[in-house]
Structure 1
Amino acid sequence: MPQLNPNPWLFIMIMSWLTFSLIIQPKLLSFTPTNTPLEKPSTSTETTSWPWPWT
């Protein structure tokens, strides 16, 4: 069964993950976001209990 032969696919998978982890990911993480999130004031909302008819 050729699907169970990990010979070419294991190497390709490891090389692709190494490429992503060592080359692509640091380049992507070096970008600064253009829209920085703002701190919004926390608002507490009052919730009322549901008027169940059987209580």
Structure 2
Amino acid sequence: MPQLNPNPWFTIMVLTWFTFSLLIQPKLLSFTPTNKPMNKTVTTKPTQWIWPWT
């Protein structure tokens, strides 16, 4: 069964991950996000619903 032979596919996978890790990822991480993160204000909890039959 040729699917069990890892000889060509393992090297392709390793080369692909090295390419991604060393070349593509630093280029992608160098971009700055368009929207800066903002501090979210803490909101107060709403009052609980008061059921008329309790």
TM-score tier (shorter): 0.7 to 0.9
Q: Percent identity?
A: 64
Question: 1:44 — aligned with what?
Answer: 44
Aligned-pair RMSD on alpha carbons?
Answer: 1.7
User: Given the two structures, how large is their TM-score scaled by the length of structure 2?
Assistant: 0.78
What are the ranges of 5 or more consecutive residues in structure 1 without an aligned counterpart? none
User: What do the CA deviations read for 1:2-50 (whole angstroms, capped 9, x no partner)?
Assistant: 100001100000000000001100100011011112112111314638x
Which aligned runs of 4 or more in structure 1 are off by greater than 6 angstroms?
Answer: none
What are the ranges of 5 or more consecutive residues in structure 2 without an aligned counterpart? none
Distance 1:25 1:47 in 2: 48
Question: 2:6 — aligned with what?
Answer: 6
Count of equivalent residues: 50
Distance change in 2, residues 1:14/1:41 (3 Å) = same
